[in-house]
Amino acid sequence: MSSLSTRQCMKKTISQVEMKILHNYVLNGSKLPRIGADPKLVNNALEHVRNIEALSRNYLPFKAIRAIDEPNEFANYLSKLPSPHMLFSDWRFNKKTRVELIKLLSYNEWSVSPHIAFICCPHLGVLFNILFPEIKISIYDINASIVEIVKEYVNENASVEACDVKSISHGCRFTSIIYDPPLYLSYYQAIIELSNHALYAGGNLYYVYPNSTLRSDFGERLVLQSMISKYNFLIENVYTSILHYDVPQFEKNTYMEIGVDCVIDWRNHQLYHLKKVEMLQLKSNEHNAIVFDPNDWEIYRFNKKTIALKTKRIVSICDDSKLEPQLASIYDDTGILLKSVSSRHKSRQYIDLWTSENIAYKVTNLPVIKSILDGYKQYGESISKDYIYNELKQKYTSGLPNQDSMYAIISQIKKIIGEQL
């Protein structure tokens, strides 16, 4: 891959996948080895590296790369809140969790016009609004006292409403929704039903769910799985260690009453991340893939190297014996290294000879190329070119291309067999 300093041009457009790769590149300190994606996509994404400033203006994941912490304004907000009450299922995320959730929400929000709903987690919404005041959000909570305090600390881009999750209008539209307690089936059904109507295609739904060690209600889980499938949600991720809560005083008092200390939160809730997809997106991508049947290939092994030759299109071993054998690039240029590891890479269809180092050629005169490989397989890599050539002359009695071209292709194949990248 050429260095970033020598890139000569910028692509005019960038796909969302390429933006995610570029975001990962910047997030990890501009270190290529940490990027997990197809090489061709990585190369495409890095053509936009000079355009980071523009992307940072338009996309939340790039804005959120900067260090995120809780400002003094948010500390003032927390100091104004009433003590948690169990009636409202008022367990509150601790500081570390709040910061991690803000990052998670931001890094997955690729809409150019985000609108994020914070349902039953108003404090997270307030922190988000302080950090990203230009992003549109909606905050919903059933505790009217907290809602009034929230209104004092958010700007005009945040709408705030005192209501239950079951009362939110299905006419609202969001790019992401995050939901915390109550952790009961009817509420989960309500949030999934709401998200089905309110989320744009490609939108994100996050909800907190108890770990199975705390709630082994598998019947409830099956009901939710059925709803998720019915409404075309895909589970993107399940985070098992991100959620931690401050222990509310009402819980501490209850434990002290029975003689048990409860200083550290004991919960191990999971955070589910679902994505809303369209029916069209649920179709298999296999029709776009170029899937090879290994039975169509002859496999040669020379020490650690494996060479695959597509023998399916060899009708007769004598066909085209006088045609000059060639190994050529599958691309318009002279490159021989396959530029992608994706099965959907269009140039895969032209591969006839393919090494374990991902070197690929299209072949002219496959029967002769096969015969040369057979010779090296039978007699070993140290056998002379003269010997291979004489074997071919005996095999192809009707004739071969001129001797110079034959020696050239034998030498090229010998080099492929023995040379390591």
CATH 3.40.50.150 domain residues, the chain:
72-282
CA distance 370 to 377: 10
Q: Which of 153, 183, 145 is nearest to 165 (CA)?
A: 183
Which structure tokens are listed for 306? Answer: 């494996």
User: Rounded CA gap, 163 and 160, in Å?
Assistant: 9
| Span 72-282 CATH architecture | 3-Layer(aba) Sandwich (3.40)
Cα dihedral sign, 348-353-356-359: negative
CA-only gyration radius of the chain, Å: 31
How far apart CA 7 and CA 310 sit, in angstroms, is 36
> What per-residue confidence (pLDDT) applies to 260?
78
DSSP 72: H
Q: In this structure, how many other beta carbons lie within 10 angstroms of the beta carbon of residue 302?
A: 16
Instruction: Give the model's pLDDT for residue 314.
Output: 62
Helices 144-153 and 72-80 cross at an angle (nearest 10°) of: 150
Report pLDDT for 198. 95
pTM of the complete model: 0.73
In angstroms, the CA 371 to CA 351 distance is 18
Q: Which amino acid is at 161?
A: E
- Tokens describing residue 216: 């082994």
Dihedral class, residue 214 (left if φ above 0, else alpha if ψ from -120 to 50, else beta): alpha
Q: Which residues of 67-84 are buried (b: 16+ CB within 10 A; e: fewer)?
A: ebebeeebeebeeebeeb
At residue 387, the pLDDT reads 93
Classify 244 as helix, strand or coil: coil
Q: What is the pLDDT along the chain (421 residues), one digit of tens a residue?
A: 333 333 333 445 777 777 887 787 777 766 554 556 677 777 777 777 767 777 777 789 888 887 789 999 999 999 999 999 988 888 999 999 999 999 999 999 999 899 999 999 999 999 999 999 999 999 999 999 999 999 999 999 999 999 989 999 888 899 999 999 788 899 999 999 999 999 999 999 999 998 766 566 788 888 999 999 999 999 999 999 899 998 888 888 888 888 877 767 777 789 999 999 876 555 555 556 777 888 899 999 998 899 999 987 665 444 556 788 899 998 888 889 988 888 878 888 899 999 999 999 999 899 999 999 999 999 988 889 999 999 998 888 778 888 999 999 999 999 999 866 4
Joined together, the tokens standing for residue 396 give: 């192809």
The pLDDT value recorded for residue 142 is 94
